[in-house]
Amino acid sequence: MGRTVALMAFVAAVFAAGVYCAVRPTVADGDVLAADLLEANAKTIQELHCDKAVVVGVDGARFHCMATFKDKTSGGLDFTMDREGMIHQASAQPPEKVKRTSDPWGD
């Protein structure tokens, strides 16, 4: 009887630890996400900066990035990441022209 109770307590503890780990959010590094997105969109995006820490929960994640495109426009992009790790663009702010200086060497 004592072994059965000990075994039941062990199974309950392992179950509780599993549930805790399953619902606990993970934090992804925004620089890593930006590097992946930049690599996938190298033909159109010149520079990309995302939120520093992206919280990935049970339902996925939502994060924001600022992009500078190859045509010298810039704008904000919102992304979502699903549970499988697939990243989808949620929305985009209208691009803005990067202001050029009067200095020809400053462009």
**Domain layout of the chain by residue ranges:** 26-97
Model pLDDT for residues 21-32, shown as the tens digit of each residue: 777 778 889 999
Measured CA to CA, the distance from residue 107 to residue 99 in angstroms comes to 9
Q: Which residues are CB-neighbours of 75 under 8 A, at least 6 positions away?
A: 66, 67, 69, 92, 93, 94, 95, 96
Nearest-angstrom CA–CA distance, 79 and 56 = 12
d(CA 85, CA 40): 15
25-73 pLDDT, tens digit each: 788 899 999 999 999 998 999 999 999 999 988 888 999 999 999 888 8
Q: Structure pTM?
A: 0.65
